[in-house]
Amino acid sequence: MPFEVKLPDIGEGVAEGEIVRWLVKAGDSVTEHQPLVEVMTDKASVEIPSPRTGKIAALLAEEGAIVPVGTVIISIEVAGEAAAATPAAAAHAPAHGSAPAAPARPASAPAASGKVQAMPAVRALAKELGVALEEVSGSGPGGAITADDVRRAANGASAAPAASRAATTAAPSEKRIPLRGLRRKIAEHMRHSLDTAAHFTFVAECDMTALVQHRERLLPSVKQKGGTLTYLAYLVKALIEPLRAYPLLNARLDDEKPEIVLEPAVHIGIATATEEGLTVPVVHDPASRTLLQVASEIQRLAAAARAGSLKLEELQGGTFTVTSTGAHGGLLATPILHHPQVAILGVHEVKKKPAVVDGQIMARDLTNLSLSLDHRVVDGAVGADFLYALIARLERPDEWLTPEVVG
């Protein structure tokens, strides 16, 4: 019998994973620890290594499928063990790396008696469309019912030719991209956040002139040492005291209890754009780091995010998130909460604009800060007080950025 590789328990709280990309195909020879498949979980994208040396007998899950932890996803013929795959495994083995083929079954025939094989998302779709899964013929691995099977059953067999004609007509003018991996996780998390939290956004202007000057004084020596110093690093350091003073913003809501959980420490998530989509690595305990150490950590995490090499622990434990729109930041935004956190801060472009200072109009470095909050936990007045406390620190950096804090 081939050795069965199950989706492992990847991390605390991870119950399922999405098969993003197979790195091997049936018939390939593999060595122990060689990566087999890329899997996306709620926490991170990880590669699952081979636990044995041998030959791939069959891939038992399609790319894009979401499978529970413990599900057999691949079988390997191990040297010294039975070489031939079981008939069932052979039926599932794809050719040249293609998706596993379904066993031949009569059209419109129901699945074999026993438990219906369908992922939770497929079951939810069937319930939404009023389709009885017991009457659907599965075209997935091992006869599993796919979302397309459910949609075909909901539309009826007579709709298939029309759908085929529509697809043929649309083919020259449209391109379809599967919603997989990180992009699908982003979509799920954003939808869950909007469905769960009571979002509202408060926006205020911040005069960054003094901070810009502080950074300009430090930047030459920082660059000489091969480092970097962004406004984001200043922001992370400035956030610590206001979050301590307003602990409801450094919290999460346990919806099951329900209870508001005040976090004992500050850990700042930094929303980072990558080719695959937005990911949120965490600067852990910035209070224990100097300004320059925070800047270095942000740079390191951003590089790892873009390279796809973030560790699981570097994505966990955030208590508050910052998202920066950079030089093309516009005037304001309404950031979506990084659930189950209750606050996220959007930072926009720092730009010279006319402002009134001591009755005189002069050029100042101004920006807007957009604070989105969960109104179930944070009232508007509390959110406003927090944001103005943060602005006060950003506008007067010399009052708290001592040499020891700068580093």
**Tens-digit pLDDT profile for residues 283-308:** 999 999 999 999 999 999 999 998 88
State the pLDDT at residue 201: 96
| 354 three-state secondary structure | strand
The residue annotated as part of the active site, out of 267, 375, 385, 398, is 375
| pLDDT for 368 beyond 80 | yes
pLDDT of residue 137: 85
200-232 residue pLDDT tens: 999 999 999 999 999 999 999 999 998 999 999
pTM over 0.95: no
Higher pLDDT, 83 or 383: 383
In contact, 298 and 233? CB cutoff 8 Å: yes
List of residues 6+ apart from 40 with CB closer than 8 A? 17, 18, 20, 180, 181, 182, 184, 185
Instruction: Please confirm, yes or no, whether 379 is among the known catalytic residues.
Output: yes
Q: Which of 94, 87, 79 is nearest to 19 (CA)?
A: 94
The single residue of 148, 255, 285, 379 carrying the catalytic annotation is: 379
Question: Would the pLDDT of 112 be above 90?
Answer: no
Q: Average the pLDDT over each of 80-89, 93-102, 270-279, 345-354 and give the range with the smallest value.
A: 93-102
**pLDDT tens profile 379-401:** 999 999 999 999 999 999 999 99
Buried b (16+ CB within 10 A) or exposed e, 377-403: bbeeeebeebbebbbebbeebeeebee
Rounded Cα–Cα distance for residues 13 and 59 (Å): 26
pLDDT at 89: 38
Indicate the Cα dihedral angle 184, 187, 190, 194, nearest 10°: -130
Q: Among residues of the chain, what percentage have pLDDT more than 90?
A: 53
Mean pLDDT computed over every residue of the chain? 84
Handedness of CA 78, 79, 82, 88 (dihedral sign): positive
206 in Cβ contact with 395 (< 8 Å):
yes
Return d(Cα 355, Cα 214) in angstroms, integer. Answer: 20
Question: What's the number of CA atoms in the CB half-sphere (13 Å) around residue 243?
Answer: 30
pLDDT of residue 311: 87
Lowest mean pLDDT, pick from 30-39, 150-159, 381-390 = 150-159
Residue 92 has pLDDT above 50, yes or no: no
